[in-house]
């Protein structure tokens, strides 16, 4: 089988490529150049995909005796990941750029080109497993090393993409074993530190980076009753659950810290309140996809699942329902058995049954745990027919706080297609 190994320059992708070679596949290594910005060397950098990373990947490929190329995906990355990141924050949402990169770059753009060039699969160093069920369908499952499991950021993969995905590290019990194997194989990246943070924000200062990309739009910081507590320079500086950086001049009546409960970019308001108000009982989204074959909802009844809302978060027992919204189109509603804290619109809710990933939804709204069923009915909030944060806030004013976000078209989905022939540079 012809396998294209995506080599980031780290130890995981190097060992994954080595295992693909050892399994007898015809392997070619490729490093994705995702930025044309100067200064993308590792000095002080905290992410991945730097110039030094490309050199580390080249050395690993040479050690494995495989051909190696650098492919320029920087334009596609800017459109589909960086611009999407900015648009989501500007709309008051909290995106996950790593998940978006896997969706639109590594398992869309890269796989598309790989298949066009005659490759059968794309191999990566993700910790996850592809399992074939009794009917021959591919399923995505958690890795054996749950502490390193990366199935959350792969929850966007489709059935077709799973057919061509290869994750050789999925059954490895620990990262220490991967490093030991790299050392035995003579790979220079055996003890290279893991990358972390957002790769295109090398210093880790997300707010500072956003300030350079989103114009200042001053507004008010208010409490749940609407009382003005302070002012801010832009809603993009805040995310649900945030505690610091609000510069509110006086303490809460009870003396306890305040947290961001809701971000309203249209009215430029940031709503703050007590930690207890962060608890949500329901989350929903209409932008969802199934990872492999879609589940069957027996008689329309809710399905028992677990849900994960952060890359390194815990799975939480919940019930899943698919409904038709009044304004058209399906929506997934997840009602958790126990309240979740600090869930922000824009995050991805990845849905599991056991170790299997069923799919994911971008969270568009959440319902506070202190709302009753009667409140929901009177405000008609479960229909998800709200078109902006301000509309949602007005609808909920008589009942309690509902965290919502503008349900708008994703401005980054109009990314340019990959040119028919993309130049490659052999190193």
Exposed, middle or buried: residue 52 (CB in 10 Å: 0-12, 13-18, 19+)? middle
For 279-411, which CATH superfamily applies? Translation factors (2.40.30.10)
Instruction: Quickly tell me which residue has 């899943």 as its tokens.
Output: 320
Identify the active-site residue in 49, 101, 123, 291.
101
Domain spans in the chain, listed from the N-terminal domain onward: 2-205+413-426, 216-276, 279-411
In Å, what is the CA distance from 58 to each residue of 50, 202, 302, 305?
Answer: 13, 22, 50, 42
Tell me whether residue 199 is one of the annotated catalytic residues: yes
Marked catalytic residue, from 98, 123, 199, 291: 199
Q: Is 123 a catalytic residue?
A: no
Could you give the C-alpha distances from 305 to 142, 288, 317, in angstroms and in order?
A: 15, 16, 6
CB 270 within 8 A of CB 238: yes
Q: What is the DSSP letter of 424?
A: E
- Nearest-angstrom CA–CA distance, 153 and 49: 17
The answer to whether 359 and 395 are in contact (CB under 8 A) is no
**Within 13 Å of residue 225, how many CA atoms lie on the same side as its CB?**
4
What span, in angstroms and rounded, lies between the C-alpha atoms of 34 and 42?
A: 14
Q: Show the CA angle centred on residue 12, arms to residues 7 and 15, nearest 5°.
A: 80
Task: Report the SS3 class of residue 293.
Answer: coil
The CATH architecture one would assign to domain 216-276 is Roll (2.30)
This prediction's pTM = 0.82
Could you give the 3-state DSSP secondary structure of residue 199? coil
Q: Does the domain made of 2-205+413-426 have the CATH classification 3.40.50.620?
A: yes
Q: Tens digit of pLDDT per residue, the chain (427 long)?
A: 999 999 999 999 999 999 999 999 999 999 999 876 544 444 444 446 678 889 999 999 999 999 999 999 999 999 999 999 999 999 989 999 989 999 999 899 999 999 999 999 999 999 999 999 999 999 999 999 888 899 999 999 999 999 999 999 999 999 999 999 999 999 999 999 887 668 888 777 888 899 899 999 999 999 989 999 999 999 998 999 998 888 787 778 888 889 999 999 999 999 999 988 999 999 999 999 999 999 988 877 899 999 999 988 899 999 999 998 877 789 999 999 999 988 989 999 999 999 999 999 999 989 988 764 444 443 334 333 333 333 333 333 322 333 333 323 332 332 333 233 333 333 3
């Amino acid at each position: 089988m012809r396998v294209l190994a995506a080599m980031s320059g780290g130890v995981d992708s190097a060992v994954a490529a080595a295992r693909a070679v050892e399994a007898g596949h015809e392997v070619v290594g490729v490093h994705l150049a995702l930025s044309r910005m100067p200064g993308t060397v590792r000095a002080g950098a905290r992410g991945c995909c730097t110039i030094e990373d490309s050199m580390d990947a080249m050395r690993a490929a040479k050690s494995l005796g495989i051909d190696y190329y650098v492919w320029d995906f920087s334009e596609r990355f800017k459109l589909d990941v960086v611009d999407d990141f900015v648009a989501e924050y500007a709309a008051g949402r909290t995106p996950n750029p790593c998940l978006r990169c896997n969706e639109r770059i590594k398992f869309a753009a890269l796989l598309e080109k790989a298949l066009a060039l005659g490759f059968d699969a794309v191999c990566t160093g993700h910790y996850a497993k592809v399992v074939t069920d009794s009917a021959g369908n591919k399923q995505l499952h958690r890795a054996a090393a749950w502490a390193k499991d990366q199935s959350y950021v792969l929850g966007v993969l489709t059935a077709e993409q799973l057919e061509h995905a290869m994750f050789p590290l999925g059954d490895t019990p620990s990262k220490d074993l991967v490093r030991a194997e790299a050392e035995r194989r003579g790979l220079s990246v055996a003890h290279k530190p893991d990358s972390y943070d957002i790769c295109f924000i090398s210093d880790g200062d997300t707010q500072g980076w956003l300030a350079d990309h989103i114009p200042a739009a001053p507004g008010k910081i208010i409490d749940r009753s609407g009382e003005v507590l302070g002012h801010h320079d832009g809603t993009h500086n805040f995310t649900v659950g945030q505690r610091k950086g609000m510069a509110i001049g006086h303490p809460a009546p009870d003396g306890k810290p305040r947290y961001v409960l809701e971000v309203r970019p249209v009215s430029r308001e940031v709503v703050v309140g007590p930690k207890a108000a962060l608890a949500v009982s329901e989350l929903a989204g209409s932008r969802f996809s199934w990872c492999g074959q879609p589940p069957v909802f027996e008689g329309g009844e809710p399905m028992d699942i677990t849900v994960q809302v952060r890359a390194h978060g815990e799975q939480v027992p919940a019930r899943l329902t698919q409904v038709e919204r009044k304004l058209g189109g399906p929506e997934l509603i997840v009602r958790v058995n126990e309240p979740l804290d600090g869930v922000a619109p824009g995050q991805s809710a990845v849905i599991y049954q056991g170790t299997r990933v069923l799919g994911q939804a971008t969270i568009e709204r959440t319902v506070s745990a202190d709302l009753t069923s009667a409140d929901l009915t009177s405000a008609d909030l479960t229909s998800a027919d709200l078109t902006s944060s301000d509309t949602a806030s007005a609808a909920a004013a008589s009942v309690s706080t509902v965290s919502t976000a503008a349900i708008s078209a994703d401005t980054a989905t109009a990314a340019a297609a990959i040119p028919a022939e993309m130049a490659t540079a052999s190193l």
